[in-house]
């Protein structure tokens, strides 16, 4: 019993975390250790940094080691997996800026400024402090502007860019990456890369739009093509400057003037003067009249998968976009469903090819039928118009009511409409015999009964 009482208790479990380490040549190094019970111990990522710097490990090895250690000590690491290599207190704002190992000073300064809504000149000042090697010897300072986006671009414009620049073979992607820095336009950088690899404007338009949409939180795209020509300052009648007129690559002068005047609410007369001024400087950009081209879009038929070689064009010529699309779809044998899809895309502004403007749509259905009519007494009633997808009963009743035609006339007109080929294809609807007439009080049928 005395011997048992003298036996010492077993030692407490070790609180020292140890992780084996090998270098790039597969040599075994002293293990990384950290006393997890020490309340004053460094954050694991900071401890790994000190360990790696002491052994002269290259950056990629210390980042890998920091990630591996924090995988095992997730509770102590929290969300941070790399060491803090630069700390700058902003005392007058009550803020503290921290830069992590491997992060570019310009990127960190820009994001900090943006997040805290600081003045535009703050990033350069903060970067100046961070890039002082005497104070922060391990801060990365290789450039003076923030990098907003990088990607590899596919050779096929229907494919998506690779935002990580790590996927796909050179058969699928261009070897050269696109980098977009602070104060740069995506359109300019895509066009620069494309021109060096023999890509055309259609390719550049497609990839620019995809990059702008996929990176909308990081980049601001004010245009979708590279600027080819820029006038001097344009002034109004009072002499106030309205900025400079920019002519995008491949853009017609009339379209550039249209964009400029519409954005500023200027008159058509001012636009004509401006177009004359522009054409005097760049006559090669004035190959057609003053009517602006609003949409110029290559289309693939969603039903058959075939590409339509003639692009869809919408002009600022007073015609309703839905009617222009209807004519184009009929010419190329496209279905009503495809027509409605294109109308929706055009009117919703989904097509943003190059610098062109969005057309204004007063309706979403095209004119399907239009012909003159007269009543039983040969009285001319005017032009009957019916929209695609409209009920024959409604169209016949509305036309008859406007022109004081008899119930018999309206019934005959409905029979005529429902006997046409368009009714067989579903473009004219003939689902009921009674019309719905909307007045300010209720919705009524032709015989006066209320519809629920």
Confidence (pLDDT) at 427? 82
| Nearest one of 438, 437, 390 to 414, comparing CA atoms | 390
- Tokens standing for residue 178: 């696109």
Cβ atoms of 154 and 160 within 8 Å: the answer is: yes
The mean per-residue pLDDT over the stretch 120-133 comes to 93
Residue 189 CA to residue 177 CA, distance in Å, equals 10
Residues forming beta bridges with residue 25, ordered by sequence position: none
Cβ atoms of 256 and 289 within 8 Å: the answer is: no
Residue scoring higher pLDDT (7 or 442): 7
- Per-residue model confidence as pLDDT tens digits over 25-81: 889 999 999 998 888 889 999 999 999 999 999 999 999 999 999 999 999 999 999
Q: What are phi and psi of 228, to 5 degrees?
A: -100, -30
Task: Evaluate if residue 145 carries a pLDDT over 70.
Answer: yes
Task: Evaluate if residue 451 carries a pLDDT over 50.
Answer: no
- Per-residue model confidence as pLDDT tens digits over 164-208: 666 655 688 998 999 999 989 999 999 999 999 999 888 998 899
Helices 336-347, 321-331: inter-axial angle, 10-degree rounding: 140
pTM as predicted: 0.62
Confidence (pLDDT) at 450? 33
Q: What are phi and psi of 401, to 5 degrees?
A: -65, -40
Residue 358 CA to residue 355 CA, distance in Å, equals 10
Residue 27 CA to residue 16 CA, distance in Å, equals 23
The mean per-residue pLDDT over the stretch 385-409 comes to 90
Residue 350: pLDDT band (50, 70, 90) is confident
* Dihedral sign for Cα atoms in the order 180, 182, 187, 189: negative
Confidence (pLDDT) at 8? 65
Scanning 295-391, the segments in alpha helix (DSSP H) are: 321-331, 336-347
Cβ atoms of 208 and 187 within 8 Å: the answer is: yes
- The gap from C-alpha 179 to its chain's centroid, in whole angstroms, comes to 17
Confidence (pLDDT) at 2? 46
- Per-residue model confidence as pLDDT tens digits over 293-332: 888 778 889 888 888 888 898 888 888 999 999 999 999 9
User: For 140, which DSSP code?
Assistant: B
Confidence (pLDDT) at 395? 92
Cβ atoms of 58 and 52 within 8 Å: the answer is: no
Confidence (pLDDT) at 284? 92
Confidence (pLDDT) at 440? 40
* Dihedral sign for Cα atoms in the order 98, 101, 103, 104: positive
End-to-end CA distance of the chain: 98
Residue 350 CA to residue 195 CA, distance in Å, equals 26
Residue 441: pLDDT band (50, 70, 90) is very low
Confidence (pLDDT) at 13? 57
Calculate the average pLDDT of the chain: 86
- Per-residue model confidence as pLDDT tens digits over 101-118: 999 999 999 999 999 999
Burial of 327-343, coded b for 16+ CB within 10 Å and e otherwise, reads ebbeeeebebebbbbbb
- Tokens standing for residue 397: 């009743």
Percent with pLDDT over 70 in the chain: 90
Task: Evaluate if residue 153 carries a pLDDT over 80.
Answer: yes
- The label of the residue with tokens 């019993």 reads 1
Task: Evaluate if residue 14 carries a pLDDT over 90.
Answer: no
Residue 79 CA to residue 432 CA, distance in Å, equals 64
Confidence (pLDDT) at 198? 93
Residue 410 CA to residue 177 CA, distance in Å, equals 66
Task: Evaluate if residue 443 carries a pLDDT over 60.
Answer: no
Residue 220: pLDDT band (50, 70, 90) is confident
């Amino acid at each position: 019993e005395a011997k048992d009482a003298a036996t010492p208790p077993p030692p407490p479990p070790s609180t020292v975390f140890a992780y084996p380490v090998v270098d790039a040549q597969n040599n075994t190094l002293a293990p990384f250790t950290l006393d997890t019970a020490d309340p004053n111990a460094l954050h694991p990522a900071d401890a790994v940094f000190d360990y790696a710097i002491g052994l002269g490990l290259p950056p990629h090895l210390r980042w890998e080691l920091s990630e591996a250690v924090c995988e095992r000590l997730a509770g102590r690491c929290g969300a941070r997996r790399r060491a803090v290599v630069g700390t700058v207190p902003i005392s007058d704002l009550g803020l503290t800026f921290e830069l992590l190992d491997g992060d570019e000073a310009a990127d960190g300064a820009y994001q900090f400024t943006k997040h805290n809504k600081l003045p535009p000149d703050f990033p350069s000042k903060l970067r100046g402090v961070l890039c002082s090697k005497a104070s922060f010897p391990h801060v990365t300072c290789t450039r003076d502007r923030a990098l907003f986006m990088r990607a590899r671009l596919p050779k096929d414009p229907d494919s998506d860019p690779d935002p990580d620049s790590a996927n796909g073979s050179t058969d699928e992607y261009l070897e050269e990456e696109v980098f977009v820095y602070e104060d740069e336009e995506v359109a300019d950088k895509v066009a620069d890369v494309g021109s060096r690899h023999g890509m055309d404007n259609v390719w550049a338009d497609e990839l620019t739009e995809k990059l702008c949409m996929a990176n909308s939180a990081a980049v601001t795209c004010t245009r979708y093509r590279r600027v080819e020509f820029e006038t001097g300052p344009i002034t109004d009648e009072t002499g106030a400057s309205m900025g400079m007129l920019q002519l995008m690559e491949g853009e017609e002068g009339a379209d550039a003037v249209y964009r400029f005047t519409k954005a500023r609410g200027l008159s058509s007369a001012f636009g004509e003067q401006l177009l004359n001024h522009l054409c005097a400087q760049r006559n090669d950009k004035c190959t057609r009249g003053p009517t602006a081209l609003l949409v110029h879009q290559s289309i693939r038929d969603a039903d058959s998968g075939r590409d339509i070689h003639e692009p869809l064009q919408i002009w600022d010529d007073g015609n309703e976009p839905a009617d222009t699309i209807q004519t184009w779809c009929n010419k190329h044998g496209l279905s009503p469903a495809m027509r409605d899809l294109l109308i929706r895309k055009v009117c919703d502004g989904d097509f943003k090819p190059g610098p062109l403007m969005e057309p204004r749509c007063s309706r979403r259905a095209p004119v399907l039928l239009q012909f003159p009519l007269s009543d039983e007494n040969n009285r001319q009633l005017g032009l009957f118009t019916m929209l695609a997808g409209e009920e024959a009963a409604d169209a016949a009743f509305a036309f008859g009511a406007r022109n004081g035609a008899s119930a018999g006339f309206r019934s005959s007109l409905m029979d005529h409409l429902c006997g046409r080929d368009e009714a067989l294809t579903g473009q004219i609807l003939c689902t009921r015999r009674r019309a719905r007439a909307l007045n300010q009080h209720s919705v009524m049928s032709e015989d006066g009964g209320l519809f629920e």
